[in-house]
Amino acid sequence: MSIEIRVNNYGSIIRSIRERYAILFPAVYTGKHKEIADVYLPSVICGNNPTLHKNMIALSRRTAEELDVDMISDNDLLKIIDVTKTEIKKVFSEVKKKDIGLVSIGYGGSSSNILYWIYTLARIADMHDIFNFVSIHDEDIIEPHNLLRIPFINNKIAQRDYMNKVLYYNEKLFDRRLGKSHINASFFKPNKKLKEMKNIVIFGAPDIETRKKIDELNITWYAITHQDNEIQITETPSFSDSDPITEGYGVINLGCLLINHLYAAWIFIKGIADGEIKCTTEPPEKNTLIFKNNFDDKGYIELTRNIKLNAFCHKETIEFSIEKEADIEEIINRYIEI
């Protein structure tokens, strides 16, 4: 397996996955349409055996590897966001002209997805060095259940009891497309110099203390957050001790999460190109909603004419047969190398 992280409590991993993700099963296959398989990865990891039909496709490389299904094609990805390769190339060319430095506060499920999907679109358009640099800041460690959200696989990680999230940034995968990287295994520390730095775009989901410092500087930044099956991009949300920006840990449909971030990545990069996404030195328009999508509990929906997504997000009532630690260990070992 390519996922290498040491775990000590298999039962807690199963529980954490069940607490965070929707455990769903596909409907009986009756047609020729393709279906997003990522929806069912949590169910498989939790020891179920959903019947996956031959036309399943994966958004995530992890899903493709673990469920043995094909990756979605570039053409199908472009159809989902309704753009052409020519349009993407034009947008990325405009971003390159701006010589933007991109700063990610945190590297959780949302930030890793945004960067991955921007990279993917740049690859499709055969563009390189989109940004002057990409700077990533995160002091937190990654946990096994987080790995399901990350749509790429980093083969370089050595075995350890824990690892910092930024160590999962795949430089070999991203650098040539996105630009040179600065990896910081520490929290983002805003200071007055930010008010003087031109061509810097900041996004992420900072903690309360960081938000307070950013708010005091009165600079423009963007919160990209995912709660259950809803994603939002908000310009400079007002600071509130009672309203921390965090990623949701409710009932998450993994397929919806990945599609939401694909949508958001396109809106974000297009916003940088046309000026709707602004640099830190430009006056902030606080609490401005840039983008929002909510799959809610919509059941099967058509992403394109021939691609369907099971967008259910409620918890299914399932009797799990896993009772012994050995059974849990056997299941986890299929996905996490120890």
221-267 pLDDT, tens digit per residue, is 999 998 888 999 999 998 764 454 555 556 899 999 999 999 999 99
Dump pLDDT digits (tens) for 74-117. 999 999 999 999 999 999 999 999 999 999 998 888 999 999 99
Question: Cβ-count burial of 319 within 10 angstroms (0-12 exposed, 13-18 middle, 19+ buried)?
Answer: exposed
Dump pLDDT digits (tens) for 299-318. 899 999 999 999 987 654 34
Q: Assess whether pLDDT exceeds 50 at residue 7.
A: no
Delimit the domains of the chain by residue range.
Answer: 10-73+296-333, 85-294
Residue 97 to residues 12, 133, 271, Cα–Cα distance (Å): 48, 13, 14
Model pLDDT, residue 144: 74
- Report which DSSP code applies to 279: -
Q: How confident is residue 1, by pLDDT bands cut at 50, 70 and 90?
A: very low
Please give the CATH topology (third level) of the domain spanning 85-294: Rossmann fold (3.40.50)
Q: How confident is residue 69, by pLDDT bands cut at 50, 70 and 90?
A: very high
Helices (H), ranges, 129-253: 171-178, 208-217
Under 8 Å between Cβ of 165 and 142: yes
What's this model's pTM, rounded to 2 decimal places?
Answer: 0.88
Sign of CA dihedral 237, 240, 243, 245: positive
